[in-house]
Amino acid sequence: MSYLKSILLFGILFAILNATLEEVIWRGIMLSSLKRNVSTFYAVVITSIGFGLLHLAIGIPVIISLLFSFGGLFYAIVVLKTNSIYPSIVFHIVINLGMVFNGWII
C-alpha cells in the first residue's frame, strides 16, 4: 500500500473511530446520565464544556477548544432533537473528515 493510501485510510478510520467514541462517551453516556440527575440545560452545558476541556487537555489551543465546546453544544442539541445518537455521530465524522483533509489532524 502506498504512503498516500495509508495516510488516507488512517485519516478516515481516525475520523470514524474518534467521532463514534467521543459521541458514545459524551452524548451517549454522560449526557444521558446527567439528564437523570440535573436539568437538561445543565447536562448540556456540563458536557459541552467538558468536551472542550478534553481537547484543551490534549494540547488544542484555548480558542479552538472553546469552538469544540460549541461543537459539543451542537451535538447535544442534535441528540436531544432527534432522540438518537446516530445523527450526532454522522455530523462528528463529517467534521473530523474535514479536519483530517485540511491537515488539522494527523
pTM over 0.75: yes
Q: Can you tell me the mean pLDDT for 20-41? A: 98
Length of the chain: 106
- 87: closest CA among 31, 41, 27, 45? 27
Instruction: Read off the pLDDT of residues 37-49 as tens digits, 9 standing for 90 and up.
Output: 999 999 999 999 9
10 Å Cβ neighbour count for 67? 14
Assess whether pLDDT exceeds 70 at residue 35.
yes
Q: The C-alpha cell of 2 is what? A: 502506498
Question: 103 in helix, strand or coil?
Answer: coil
Domain ranges (residues) in the chain: 17-101
